Amino acid sequence: MAICRLRSLFSPSKCKSSSFSFYQSFKPRTFSSSHHLPSHLQNVGFIGLGNMGSRMANNLIKAGFSVTVHDLNSDVLDKFSHMGVATKKTPCEVSEASDVVVTMLPSSAHVCDLEKPFMLDAPVSGGVIAAEAGTLTFMVGGSEEAFAAAKPLFFSMGKGAIYCGGAGNGSAAKICNNLALAVSMLGVSEALALGQSLGVAASTLSKIFNCSSARCWSSDSYNPVPGVMEGVPSSRDYNGGFASKLMAKDLNLAAESAKQAGCKHPLTSQAQKIYTELCNEGHEGKDFSCVFRHYYTGMDEHVDQ
């Protein structure tokens, strides 16, 4: 999640009206060349080329969009420039060169106000792995016509785009999603660490979880135990995923939202406490699955291939 929680905004500047109903189902679309792209989306600006954004921008390029990029990291800009992608020094220059602007930034405080007539808040779920594979899920808030107009972008970077209602609802959905994710990661990590203490290998327990009632994404797709699963942050010292500080931030938002709504939130509060502690102990930059090692003191496992 994503997982980051990272926030993205789509702001189509030349969207056309559409009669598309968000209750209808639709399949992902791919484009072989810019000649097949909607005229209002041919030139795409992309701001924010971090772990997630760089991969998402690459997928837009592969889909045939003409992409212009910006990031504060000059090394990243040089990399895209060497690929033949247009780069700009400021977000305003990106906006001027683009029909639509995508931002993929750490928090709403970083999002530039580009003063476009249409704006969608579209947080993503799936993390770096899904960003690389183009299988992200987008939770979208804003007008229905802007959502319909932006579909080709969503399905060039992901496998799903769910309309959540008016402006801000995408972010609200993401907060709820990350709350459930945090709690499931804590539950899986706690159970696996307990299993190790009782003499049951984490790989054995994971196999049990994944074919029984405990199965969840934190177990079968993002296992927190180093050595159990390849290609996930736990296999690379918890680097390159959704930082614990971002999970703590989303849990803070969830707790505040629950208070304002008058909802009970004991699990939110406990998860918030754990991830805040994890960050205070110096692990804020590590993927949130590092809670297995640094909170529960779970052990690495060497699995025979």
Is the pLDDT at 136 greater than 60? The verdict is yes
Domains and CATH numbers, the chain: 39-167 (3.40.50.720), 172-295 (1.10.1040.10)
Residue 45: its pLDDT value, please? 92
Residue that is written with structure tokens 């939770």 in the block: 139
Neighbours of 34 (CB within 10 A): 13
Contact between residue 53 and residue 136 where contact means Cβ atoms under 8 Å apart: no
Rounded CA-CA distance 5/243 in Å is 8
Residue 39: its pLDDT value, please? 64
What residue type is 262 in one-letter code?
G
Average of per-residue pLDDT across 204-220: 97
Least confident of 7-16, 103-112, 166-175: 7-16
Phi then psi for residue 160, to 5 deg, are: -150, 145
Is the pLDDT at 8 greater than 70? The verdict is no
- Counting every residue written for the chain, the total comes to 305
Rounded CA-CA distance 22/165 in Å is 10
Residue 22, token pair as written in the block: 């968000």
Residue 117: its pLDDT value, please? 52
Rounded CA-CA distance 11/222 in Å is 31
Is the pLDDT at 9 greater than 70? The verdict is no
Residue 13: its pLDDT value, please? 39
pTM above 0.85, yes or no: no
> Given pLDDT bands bounded at 50, 70 and 90, which one contains residue 128?
confident
Hey, which residues are catalytic here? 174
> Given pLDDT bands bounded at 50, 70 and 90, which one contains residue 40?
low
Is the pLDDT at 207 greater than 70? The verdict is yes
Residue 42: its pLDDT value, please? 84
Contact between residue 237 and residue 122 where contact means Cβ atoms under 8 Å apart: no
Helices (H), 134-168: 144-157
Average of per-residue pLDDT across 253-278: 98
